[in-house]
Amino acid sequence: MDAFVKRQLFAKDVAFLVAQVENRVADGDAAKGLVDLRALLQMHGGAVVDSSEADTEDSRVNVVLLPEGLEESEMLKLRFPRAEMLRAQWVKDSVAKNRRQAMTSYRVGVETTHSKSSAGNKTLQIGTEPPPMKKQKVDTSGGAVKTDVELLGPQLRPWKVVQKSLHVLDARAEQTEARDVKVKIAGFDLDGTIIVTKSGKRFAKDKDDWKWFHSTLVRDKLVQLAKEGYTLVIFSNQNGIAKGNVSDTEVQTKVEAIVKSLNLPMLVYLGTESDMMRKPRVGAWKEMVGLLSAKGEEAIDKQESFYCGDAAGRPKIAGRTKDFAATDYKFALNIGIRFYTPEGLFLGSKQRIHTRPDMWELGFDPKSIVLNESSDGPLLNPASARIVSPNQEVVVLVGPPASGKSFFAKTHLSSYVLVSQDELRTAAKCKKKCLEALALKKSVVIDNTNREPRTRKEWITIGQQQ
């Protein structure tokens, strides 16, 4: 009975049909072929988008169907960045066998029995008037691309786990002689930015459920940036590990496969808990800074550095759903570097929805808060109050990353000895510096998150004993 059941073979597919003109063949034959193909798709649950209905960059379309002999074009790739480019024969064979066929052997550019045909000069005709779609180059360096630069491959070192939550992969090339220049960072989110799921689901069903955000433009851009001297870094929240939906080994294996496929040196930081290492908090960024240079933030060229991610807070528009969050954009704001959406960076989109932050929904914006009733009002209440004590003291700051602790300490407690684990790296070194300062009769400010009562008690005890 199964052979006679009409299945909804293409229920998950939104297709775009590409017509062809072969020399002077009558348009009627090509038109009839498209009508028949459309009927097969719709009869078996599929949806078809016309040229007039398709957006300039249409992420709804997951299948572009081309006749035999036609090759995919750059324009098609840009217009349908998440679509598989397949021979139209895929639909016919799936219907004939009453089973959705694997796409692999039908992909354009794969020579199989489905795609062999007598060659001829054939041209693309996308609808009646395809939109002008030029590949826009987003210049992130301010200079020409250094095409003669030889890129070394990645050297994958063992994974490390920082503070029990941040998984770090150092896949940089073998270290060369250190240069006294500032480091330019090209930061990227992973899911929805460098890769998307092959299944079309929001979350990957397994470690192999991924493909590039764009089949060629992603790596092209990363190669360009690497040649321009950027350090490539991936910052990704991987909540599935903490929730038990996926193991850390599965995620690490997947990331290693991505790095090897790109064959480019880079760093990878995966935040797995809701702590300071999770974007938009900047703990992972600070870990990266500490790894790259002992000079700290001074070694980073923030004017040239940027971050690219799909969670930008973009609202819903025709043809695309709203972003699930603005995490990536907030991450860039907290660091103080430029931000790009993947459509803006990889595809060169000029659409306002992908390039205009004023259109994005940030949610809570700390810049909207007005301190005091007037910016000209007194800092302290009463105005006669003093921040700096005439007596020796230990000030313990408490607060999450990017809440203003360091700014407050450097602005209002500049005469105090500042103790920061971000700079000293270990709790033991922080304690040593604090004790040395107290022995010299100097006041100390502890510039850490200090979120645990136990941690705060240790500093209070040190202050009481001196």
pLDDT at site 366: 64
Specify if 139 maps to a domain.
no
pLDDT at site 152: 87
**Kind and range of the H or E run holding 79:** helix 74-79
Specify if 414 maps to a domain.
yes
Specify if 385 maps to a domain.
no
* pLDDT score of 378 more than 50: yes
C-alpha Rg value of the chain to the nearest Å: 28
Q: Return mean pLDDT, the chain.
A: 83
Name the pLDDT band for 24 (thresholds 50, 70, 90): very low
Specify if 80 maps to a domain.
yes
Q: 13 or 177, which is more confident? A: 13
pLDDT at site 134: 38
117 and 166 part of one domain:
no
Name the pLDDT band for 127 (thresholds 50, 70, 90): very low
The CATH number of residue 120's host domain is 3.40.50.10190
Name the pLDDT band for 44 (thresholds 50, 70, 90): confident
Token representation of residue 143 = 């200079």
Which residues have C-beta within 8 Å of that of residue 145, sequence separation ≥ 6?
224, 227, 228
455 and 326 part of one domain:
no
Mean pLDDT computed over 42-50: 83
Mean pLDDT computed over 90-107: 83
Specify if 60 maps to a domain.
yes
* pLDDT score of 120 more than 50: no
Mean pLDDT computed over 265-276: 95
* pLDDT score of 348 more than 70: yes
172 and 121 part of one domain:
no
* pLDDT score of 9 more than 60: yes
360 and 399 part of one domain:
no
How many CA atoms are closer than 13 Å to the CA of 441, on its beta-carbon side?
Answer: 2
Residues 70/120, Cβ–Cβ less than 8 Å: no
C-alpha to C-alpha distance for 165 and 238, rounded to whole angstroms: 10
Lookup result for tokens 């851009």: 221
In single-letter form, the type of residue at position 322 comes to K
The CATH number of residue 421's host domain is 3.40.50.300
* pLDDT score of 263 more than 90: yes
Question: Mind listing the pLDDT tens digit for each residue in 160-190?
Answer: 999 999 999 999 998 655 566 899 999 999 9
pLDDT at site 311: 96
Q: 115 or 9, which is more confident? A: 9
Name the pLDDT band for 113 (thresholds 50, 70, 90): very low
pLDDT at site 370: 53
Q: 374 or 61, which is more confident? A: 61
The residue segments making up the domain with residue 423 are 394-465
* pLDDT score of 25 more than 70: no
* pLDDT score of 84 more than 60: yes
pLDDT at site 27: 52
* Structural domain total, the chain: 3
This prediction's pTM: 0.53
* pLDDT score of 137 more than 80: no
114 and 257 part of one domain:
no
16 and 90 part of one domain:
yes
How many CA atoms are closer than 13 Å to the CA of 408, on its beta-carbon side?
Answer: 17
173 and 118 part of one domain:
no
Q: 262 or 119, which is more confident? A: 262
The CATH number of residue 263's host domain is 3.40.50.1000
Q: 53 or 291, which is more confident? A: 291
115 and 16 part of one domain:
yes
219 and 117 part of one domain:
no
* pLDDT score of 280 more than 70: yes
16 and 66 part of one domain:
yes
pLDDT at site 216: 93
Specify if 147 maps to a domain.
no
* pLDDT score of 234 more than 90: yes
* pLDDT score of 8 more than 80: no
